[in-house]
């Protein structure tokens, strides 16, 4: 694998499984003896951990980040309420902008590494402010995109529209992951339907896992395709 592989992780909606996939891939990269960095530039929803406000998803990425970074490098913007980031930011008096987020991401990625993932928030078209969306940050970074599809009723439409938006923004969708967060009737048929529409390769069909340790083989396989 070439040095400094970087990807942007997005999903079809919130709770699609982006963090599970990102943490799983970072874990696979660590098992391959790569220096890993996982970043969550914007996180909405915080809890006190040992007296410090943190986000659960950011902590999951931090646990799989093998290079030494402090929490604020991994999650530079932490919003306390688990709501749309631009609304939470306005309520807390926080300014969100592509230029600010891009700067802190690139600063964190100055640390020597081999494999890095930047995880978005919610879906592809999430507002940061009245003019910019999180997809604008992905465009500025220019990293290849991995799409996590929340396999539930409506997923074909969500996956197709998201893939079309990524292509319209001029970014390379390197593959997509079918994530079964809940039991879904006709799961295989829905995966096949999406796979017949989206030209990017299907990287994996994930079942329901209790933890990352149960899915090492799947994520090792995904990593080998990137």
* Calpha distance 205→151 (Å, rounded): 10
Residue of 177, 109, 112, 193 lying closest to 143 (CA atoms): 109
The residues, any chain, with a CB within 8 Å of residue 51's CB and separated by 6 or more, are none
* Calpha distance 178→181 (Å, rounded): 9
Give yes or no for a contact between 13 and 158, defined as CB atoms under 8 angstroms apart: yes
Coil, helix or strand for 4? coil
Q: 4, 18, 30, 40: which one is catalytic?
A: 40
Is 40 catalytic? The answer is yes
Q: What's the half-sphere exposure (Cβ side, CA atoms, 13 Å) at 170?
A: 6
Q: Please give the full DSSP string across 86-143, using - where no structure is assigned.
A: HHHHHHHT----HHHHHHHHHHHTTS--SEEEEE-SSSSS-BSSSS-BHHHHHHHH--
Residue of 116, 118, 93, 108 lying closest to 42 (CA atoms): 118
**Residues identified as active-site:** 40
């Amino acid at each position: 694998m070439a040095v400094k592989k970087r990807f942007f992780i997005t999903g079809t909606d919130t709770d699609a499984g982006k963090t599970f996939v990102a943490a799983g891939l970072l874990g696979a990269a660590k098992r391959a003896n790569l220096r890993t960095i996982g970043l969550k530039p914007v996180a909405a929803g915080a809890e006190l951990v040992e007296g410090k406000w943190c986000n659960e998803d950011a902590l999951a990425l931090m646990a799989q980040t093998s290079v030494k970074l402090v929490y604020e490098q991994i999650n530079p913007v932490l919003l306390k309420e688990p709501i749309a980031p631009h609304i939470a930011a306005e309520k807390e008096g926080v300014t969100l902008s592509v230029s600010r987020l891009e700067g802190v991401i690139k600063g964190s990625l100055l640390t020597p590494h081999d494999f890095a993932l930047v995880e978005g928030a919610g879906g592809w078209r999430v507002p940061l402010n009245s003019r910019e969306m999180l997809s604008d940050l992905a465009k500025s970074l220019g990293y290849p995109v991995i799409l996590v599809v929340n396999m539930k009723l409506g997923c074909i439409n969500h996956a197709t529209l998201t893939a079309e938006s990524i292509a319209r923004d001029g970014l390379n969708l390197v593959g997509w992951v079918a994530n079964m967060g809940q039991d879904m009737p006709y799961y295989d048929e829905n995966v096949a339907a999406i796979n017949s529409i989206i030209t990017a390769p299907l990287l994996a069909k994930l079942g329901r896992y209790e933890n990352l340790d149960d899915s090492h083989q799947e994520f090792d396989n995904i990593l080998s395709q990137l």
